[in-house]
Amino acid sequence: MKLVFASNNPHKLSEIRAMLGSEHDILSLHDIGCQADIPETAETLEGNALQKASYIYERYHCDCFADDTGLEVEALDGRPGVYTARYAGPQCSPEDNIVKLLHEMQGKVNRKAVFRTSICLILQGNVHVFNGIVKGSITEQKKGTDGFGYDPVFAPDETGLTFAEMGVGEKNKISHRARAIQQLKDFLLASRPETFNGNES
């Protein structure tokens, strides 16, 4: 199955291609010639994912999916939330976001946080939404060198290690994105017309 993933982020593309497997041909925005800066102006993760997927479907008329991810920190009243990717400003780097987050968390005893990923799939014109959640905490300093984004400062409860300390393989077993992608994968498998009673015709 050929699907467009509404992103050019090489880290996300690599993770998603690894999780979905070789039976799915995942194309990037670059692969379909889309150079647009797709708007993300919704007030929820689901809304942003739908906005991005709809943009591609309406203009390129192909099956596609998009995601949006938010880090919600309890001591910061749920921030950065929908602004996770641009927490330190419109042109910020991932490092800028981490610096701002750790600064705001200085002296905070409660370091509980939740990472959420929402995926919107548009398949043959029909919209489907999948959500993945992982609970954890914000570390006091960066740990690990793998991963991207907030991975060096988010430690899921299951391991106590940050995502950046785990390596991609371990992260993909428990991460918020992995859980949402697994739901997407299960849905795509169940939707295959050639599948009947678990066997391909």
Residue with tokens 């981490």: 98
Q: How far apart are CA 151 and CA 154, in angstroms?
A: 5
Determine the 3-state secondary structure of 117 from DSSP: strand
- The 10 Å Cβ neighbour count of residue 53 is 26
Element (H, E) at 150: none
Given the residues 25, 31, 37, 68, select the one marked as catalytic: 68
Nearest CA to 173 among 62, 5, 39, 19?
19
**Cα gap 101→139, rounded to integer Å:** 10
**Position of tokens 């009673």?**
197
Q: Decide: residue 34, CB within 10 A, 0-12 exposed, 13-18 middle, 19+ buried.
A: middle
Does the annotation mark 157 as catalytic?
no
Bridging pattern class, strands 2-5 and 25-27: parallel
Which residues are marked as active site? 68
